[in-house]
Structure 1
Amino acid sequence: MRTVDIKDYASYVGITMLMKGLTVSPLKLQKILYYEQAWHMVGFGRENQLFDCAPQAWVNGPVYPEIYHIYKDMVPGMCDHLKMRNFVADGDDPAVKEKLLLDKMGLEKEEIALTERVIMLYGSRTQNQLILLTHSEKPWSEKREGLMPYDYSCVEISLDTMHDYYKQRYDRNRGKIR
């Protein structure tokens, strides 16, 4: 498997969430991308990360700086909701744009299905719920160790830790439903 362009993937996720009636803010988009990367590595192997960059352990949770800089000025605040026009040009059909992005990224059926599951699992949560969730999990918290709650940090979250942490969760939960 190959990595995809995180900008294309962020647009795809934003369009998909809005088409499903889910809200998306710049902050929430960051958390969804983080979980997409984590669960992709669990589903397809650590060596098969979704994008070739790691999130950083910012104050409000995992952040991909490249995506932050794209969406930060599209709405008055990071918690304000993005609209379809933030992902699709005026007059363009969102479903067509979504399909074009899928074709460009070359995602396999299994990858698309996993993307959908992650969106449905995390996309219905509020951004504050997602912040609290990421703060309670090892990948982000280990990189914030020793910092005050509002200390700036651009330390990258370990992709190995992301994979191992969520793989353990998956294995533990899979054992419960057998």
Structure 2
Amino acid sequence: MTYQATDIAKYIINKCTIEKHAISNLQLQEILYYIQKKFLEIGLKAFEDDFEAWPSGPVIPEVYYIYCGFGALDIRMKYDIH
């Protein structure tokens, strides 16, 4: 079962907010990259979204644009995750 990158991003942000670990949009992109990398190593995909090569590194544009309003500041949000 694959998820949307936005759903995994919400989970990561939720976890970081609850555990009081700051996370920026750039760090979020990096975590998504490593999650996908680990899944691909075992022949699966964590999500179907594709990364783009940006100057700052691999980025999933849809996720980036959702959180770009935070700039380099920490993303602190809570989502109702089921």
Correspondence 1:34 to 2:33: yes
Larger relative contact order, structure 1 or 2 (CA cutoff 8 Å, min sep 6) = 2
Query: Residue 60 of structure 2 is aligned with which of 47, 58, 64?
Result: 64
Q: Does 1:10 align with 2:9?
A: yes
Which residue number in structure 2 is paired with residue 159 of structure 1? Answer: none
Structure 1: gaps (5+ residues): 89-96, 101-178
Structure 1 counterpart of 2:21, one-letter code: L
Question: Offset at 1:28?
Answer: 1.0
Q: CA separation in 2, counterparts of 1:83 and 1:20?
A: 11
Name the structure with the higher helix share.
1
CA shift, 1:32, in A, is 0.7
In 1, the alpha carbon distance for the partners of 2:74 and 2:61 equals 19
Structure 1 residues 71-109: Cα deviation after superposition (integer angstroms, max 9, x where no partner): 112x2x2x211112xx43xxxxxxxx24x1xxxxxxxxx
Secondary structure in structure 2 of the residue aligned to 1:72: helix
Q: Distance in 1 between matches of 2:25 and 2:63?
A: 8
Pairwise CA RMSD:
1.4
**Structure 2 alignment gaps of length 5 or more:** none
Amino acid at match of 2:74: H
> How far apart in 1 are the matches of 2:16 and 2:40?
21
In 2: Cα distance, 1:5 partner to 1:25 partner: 19
Max Rg structure = 1
Q: What residue number does 1:80 align with?
A: 73
- SS of 2:15 mapped into structure 1: helix
The sequence identity of aligned pairs, in percent, is 32
Q: Does 1:54 align with 2:50?
A: yes
Q: Deviations over 1:34-73 (max 9, x none)?
A: 111111222xx22x11101221110111100010111112
Partner of 1:23: 22
